[in-house]
A and B are shown apart, each in its own frame.
Chain A
Amino acid sequence: MVRPAPAREKTVNGLVLPDDAAPYSEQVLRLPCDNTRNETTFDSAVTIYQVFGCGGNLFGDTLVDLDKDFTPRPAAAASWSVADDGVTWTFRLREGMMWSDGTPVTAHDYVATFRLEATPEHGWDFSWFYTALGDGGIANWTRVVAGELPPEELGVRAIDELTLEIVTEGFFPPFPGAMKFGYVLQKRALEQHGPFYNNDPATSVSSGPYILDEFDPGNRIILVANPDYTGYRPARLARIEGIYMSPATYFIAFQTGEIDLVSDGALTPTDFISIDRDPVLRDNYLRHYGDFRTDYILFDTFNPPFDDLDVRKAFAFSVDREAIVRGVYGEIKAMPAHSMLMPGFPAADTEGTLAGFQHFDCGLARQHLAAAGFPGGDGFPGLEMWLRGEAPALAAVYQATAASIAQCLKIDLQVSNKDGKVFMDALNARPTRLQLGAVSYGMDFLDPANLLGAWVSTGRHSWKNEAFDQAVVGASRLLGNPDRRLQMFRDAERILVDDVGGVFIAHRWQGDLFKPHVLGDSFRQPDSNGVYGRHWGNDWFWGDVYIGKRE
């Protein structure tokens, strides 16, 4: 007698679980929450740098999401278009989206959120973003943030309940990608309870795939699937449990089975050795681009000794990147960098042609130092390279970098790991108080205008090159010719490495260690470059991930 196959279980949203899924009652994902970070909110619209690392941004859908190749895909906005003027963008919201209190999600909610972000009194810590976008910035953003115009003058308005219009300052073709940051808070809850309404289950209201069930800061966060969710990423999970702990104990908690996922930032070099030795762990550590982060050295090029290009070139040719990646990072965590843009990022130098400008050649490095008037390092001033409060693993990388430079050039170069705020205070001072430092930078959105824009002379680096500025600004504004645009960015990056705005050390691979029973195409399937893992900005992960049957 043939027994009928058991009926596949459904989620609270009526979604049928995959064949290999565990019963719905076991669809629980346990995550570590960092108990050493300064985190204050679930919503990036309130503060982006203090948002909860576990459970953040799950109570609403951004206008746009990204696919595995970082191409914008519909999220809360079902579609979008730009008018003939090139600056008026229309986002059509998905029909039927609801808040967990039974009210509909409307364009007015998005307008209220954008206005909150720009409100001077709110002091949003990401408000620099729409200013830094230049032409891609929302119209009047900078003046509203400065208090010169009321928030109502912002270039965002609701045409009707489901149509949102956003006007930008100028032409900016990649603007839909920037709407990855098009967050939503409920207008009514904002008015009644203020921006932290989601920190209390009694006032929390969600239009995202999960709702807040329990929140005990410092102890645990419990989210459950939102039964009223009608958006693009309905949860397969029944529940997410966030357990507060120190990153130093994440791997231990993972090994004892208390959590299902650890990101690379909490894994030490010793942990990576354990992962490498264990085939199950190795197969379940899924490496990805992360935010295309690059570690590099920066200079004050307006003052001696780094106002001399030969000195900068001497530094650029004295870093043994391959040895540092092999011996300090480990090849699972980084690849040698010869430029700012990591291969895989648009306009990146995938052919490696820029390596000619920055690579390890100690003989050439010494020639440049001699040309600068310091043969054999004689007479070169002793220097201190500052770090931005780095954890031991990354501090070791920069120590190795400094050692490579000092050994090759025979100069006195010390490393000082400063408090993060002290470092940033010195870096941002004008004129800068940071003569020499090492730091990392990752993208905010997938366009060279972001990562190369950070090097424009109005940015934080004390380096200026007119040709570079013109190329980056010109490319950022270029509409209708994507190939030409990317070539302009490539030209700009060549100027950056040739003029040694910075010395690029390594591009960091990031990754997550999953339990084998944590499944989902969003991270178990590769992108078009064959890279697996949970890609940056792929918020659809939270609807895709599920718990598989255990062996």
Chain B
Amino acid sequence: MADYIIRRLISLVFVLLAVSAIVFAMMHAVPGGPFDTQQGHLPPAARENILRKYGLDKPVWQQYLNYMSHALRFDFGIPYQQPQTTVAALIAKTWSVTLQVGVMTIIVAFGLGITAGKFAAYHQNSWIDNLVTFTATLGVTVPNFVVAMWFILFFGVARQWLPVGGWGVSHCLFGSWFCTDWILPVAAYALAPMAVVARYTRSSIVDVIREDYVRTARAKGLAESLVMKRHVLRNAQIPMVTALGTEIPNLITGSIFIETTFRINGLGKFFVTSTLHRDYPMIMATFLLVALLWGVTYMLTDIAYTMIDPRVRLGARGEGHG
């Protein structure tokens, strides 16, 4: 296992290098630079001054090497959007908020999604199944910013039951253990992944329920709860982990729609605004962060397989799943 993890971490370093080179080349290839204004009147001399100040007057390959040499020392530069801070400080500040939103969303989405999926699978073609399927379809097809606006209009404007903005800044109970301004953003953000989780959970369980070994277990007189626990859920977990693991990096890197709509000062918006504003240091940092999270998530997913199914051997060549 340790060898496997070391090999995966080494390969992750190469992935990050490749991502950094591709992103760096692409962002410099796109027309328009960080200091081109909407007015476009910046005189050549002034433009050159700014480019020199930020080291953008050098050839792209040289800029890349400069960037990487600093990045290896965890110096990711100054964000053009907030030049009074550093990229690392800005990410530390905003990602901590995004992580809170993401973790709560994961708990809600996975908790409710798995529960709903199980109910739907156990009660195939019943009204419960239909309700879960309908809700899941709605959750997947309606974008979260539309859901967010529905929630705001109903719960905030029409009924005035819940605050419509901020994150942990008001309406907090039990100290800061629970704030009412968490409810709407987490609910709006969780709806789509909850739908995905419910659908995957249902289909995985339904597939396993029809397997011969489940039928055999029942024929042997095993209690239904034990059949479900030992044979159905355990074997349904591998496809669920494969599908659901990939939701996690998305959720913990935030959503511009949720964050801007609910006035959450998180990292999510920087994925878009950095590109729009050609904020090169932030573009690089956010892409590297995402690449790192995906790499780690895939590695953890593979490790999870071995815990769920001992027959799985990590790094073994030519072996199937038994």
Contact = CB atoms under 8 A, between A and B. Distances in A.
- Of listed A125, A218, A244, residue having the most chain B CB within 10 A: A218
Nearest to A217: B82
A425 B263 contact: no
A36 B45 CA distance: 29
Interface in A110-139: 120-125, 127-129, 131-132
B242 interface: no
A237 B198 CA distance: 53
B41 A132 contact: yes
Contacts of A350: none
A243 B30 CA distance: 33
Contact of B43 (A35, A49, A131, A252): A131
Interface in B255-297: 260-261, 263, 265, 269, 273, 276-279
A419 B31 CA distance: 9
Given A249-B165, A252-B157, A253-B164, A128 B49 contact: no
Given A35-B265, A419-B276, A422-B31, A125 B42 contact: yes
A147 B169 CA distance: 48
A420 B38 contact: yes
Interface in B122-158: 152-153, 156-157
B94 interface: yes
Interface string B27-59: 000111101111111110111011011000000
Given A49-B38, A127-B42, A253-B165, A244 B263 contact: yes
A353 interface: no
B32 A421 contact: yes
Contacts of A420: 32, 38, 276
Nearest to A218: B265
A395 to B, nearest CB: 16
B81 interface: yes
A124 B41 CA distance: 11
A199 B31 contact: no
A245 interface: yes
Nearest to A421: B32
A258 interface: yes
A45 interface: no
Contacts of B273: 36, 38
Interface in A402-448: 419-422, 424-428
A249 B145 CA distance: 11
Given A252-B153, A252-B156, A253-B164, A422 B32 contact: yes
B157 A255 contact: yes
B43 A128 contact: yes
B310 interface: no
A200 interface: yes
Interface string A9-26: 000000000000000000
A528 interface: no
Contacts of A460: 40-41
A127 B43 contact: yes
B160 interface: yes
A219 B97 CA distance: 12
Nearest to B97: A218
B263 A245 contact: yes
A66 to B, nearest CB: 20
A123 B35 contact: yes
Nearest to B279: A38
A367 interface: no
Interface string A240-263: 000111101100110110100000
- Of listed B45, B82, B152, residue having the most chain A CB within 10 A: B45
Nearest to A459: B41
B50 A123 contact: yes
Nearest to B274: A38
A389 B37 CA distance: 13
A145 B269 contact: no
A230 interface: no
Given A132-B41, A249-B261, A219 B169 contact: yes
A127 B40 contact: no
B30 A246 contact: no
Which of the four size classes fits the interface of chain A?
35 or more
Given A35-B269, A38-B81, A40-B83, A248 B31 contact: no
Given A146-B45, A147-B45, A245-B263, A425 B164 contact: no
B80 interface: yes
Nearest to B265: A218
A68 interface: no
A381 to B, nearest CB: 23
Given A421-B278, A422-B32, A40 B81 contact: yes
Given A36-B273, A147-B45, A218-B265, A121 B53 contact: yes
B53 A123 contact: yes
A421 B260 contact: no
A502 to B, nearest CB: 16
B94 A218 contact: yes
Interface string A453-476: 000000010000000000000000
A256 B157 contact: yes
Contacts of B36: 421, 424-425, 428
A70 to B, nearest CB: 20
B271 to A, nearest CB: 12
Contacts of B156: 252, 256
Given A125-B37, A142-B43, A38 B164 contact: no
A145 B61 CA distance: 29
B46 A124 contact: yes
A332 to B, nearest CB: 22
A388 interface: yes
A121 B265 contact: no
Contact of B37 (A49, A217, A256, A426): A49
A80 interface: no
A192 to B, nearest CB: 15
Given A196-B83, A249-B164, A125 B35 contact: yes
Contact of B164 (A121, A131, A252, A426): A252
A18 to B, nearest CB: 31
A127 B165 contact: no
- Of listed B30, B80, B160, B265, residue having the most chain A CB within 10 A: B265
Given A38-B273, A218-B94, A249 B38 contact: no
Interface of A: 35-36, 38-40, 49, 120-125, 127-129, 131-132, 142, 145-147, 196, 199-200, 216-219, 243-246, 248-249, 252-253, 255-256, 258, 388-389, 419-422, 424-428, 460
Given A120-B49, A420-B276, A424-B32, 20 more contacts: A35-B265, A38-B273, A39-B81, A49-B39, A120-B46, A121-B49, A123-B46, A127-B46, A128-B41, A142-B45, A199-B84, A217-B265, A218-B265, A245-B263, A248-B261, A252-B152, A252-B164, A421-B30, A421-B36, A426-B31
22 contacts: A38-B277, A39-B81, A40-B82, A40-B83, A122-B49, A123-B46, A123-B49, A127-B43, A132-B41, A146-B43, A219-B169, A245-B260, A246-B261, A249-B152, A249-B261, A249-B263, A252-B152, A256-B160, A421-B33, A424-B37, A424-B40, A460-B40
Closest 10 CB pairs of A and B: A421-B32, A218-B265, A123-B50, A128-B41, A246-B260, A146-B45, A425-B31, A120-B49, A123-B49, A245-B263
